[in-house]
Amino acid sequence: MTLALTTVGWSVSYDPFLLETQLSLLPKIALLEKNLLFSHKKSPIKVLIAYDRSDDETAALCVKILTNKFNGYLNSRPIAITTLPFDRLDSSVSYHLVYALKGSLSQLKKVHNTVGSGAVTALYDADKLGVDGILLSIQMERTPIILINAKVLRENHFSFPDSLLEITRIVQ
């Protein structure tokens, strides 16, 4: 019984360094997308943290990391952060960046299907990047490696600077 509980605990655990690295870099990367629409220069950058209901503490930690890291602003624009479980995602609300914590393939596909092509999507679990319709992730090797899903990049007509694309690893 203890082994089963330990295994379950490990499966939902997060690497704090990776989580902080991703949350430090992903909003800045999202702002590099040339077609990202803002209604007004002072309108907030809307960030959604999507998570499994068992990860509500991690989602709250993500809000804390983003708030502390950027002090409520990114590129002189306020950041509005929302957290929602995967099963409460709503396509009537638009976001600029959607960051998905660990989830099943069906939950991650729901992120893609719910937010459509308007938002830059990213996820914690880089191993699932190629199959779920999510655009970005970051994994740690000796340095952080930015991963971009080539299919999602093409299908959604995202446009990033060439200098960013040159330093990323493209996932097919």
Half-sphere exposure in the Cβ direction for 169 (13 Å, CA):
14
Give the β-pairing of 97-100 and 144-149: unpaired
pLDDT tier for residue 135 given thresholds of 50, 70 and 90: very high
3-state secondary structure of 48: strand
Place of tokens 């991963």: 147
Predicted confidence at residue 40, as pLDDT, reads 62
Q: Which residue has the higher pLDDT, 138 or 114?
A: 138
Give Cβ neighbours of residue 143 (< 8 Å, ≥ 6 apart). Answer: none
Average pLDDT over residues 115-134: 85
Cα 9 to Cα 4, 17, 58, 60, distances in angstroms:
9, 18, 13, 18
Residue-wise pLDDT for 143-166, tens only, equals: 999 999 999 999 888 899 999 999
Q: How far apart are the first and last CA of the chain?
A: 40
Can you spell out the DSSP letters for 79-125?
EEEEEEEGGG--TTS--SEEEE-S--HHHHHHHHHHHTTSSEEEES-
The pLDDT assigned to 67 comes to: 95
Domains annotated for the chain, with CATH where assigned, are 14-171 (3.40.50.2300)
Give pLDDT, residue 4: 38
In the chain, the percentage of residues whose pLDDT exceeds 70 is: 89
Helix (H, G, I), strand (E, B) or coil at 78: strand
Average pLDDT over residues 128-132: 81
Q: What order of strands is seen across the sheet that includes strand 45-51?
A: 73-74, 77-85, 45-51, 97-100, 120-123, 136-140, 144-149, 169-171
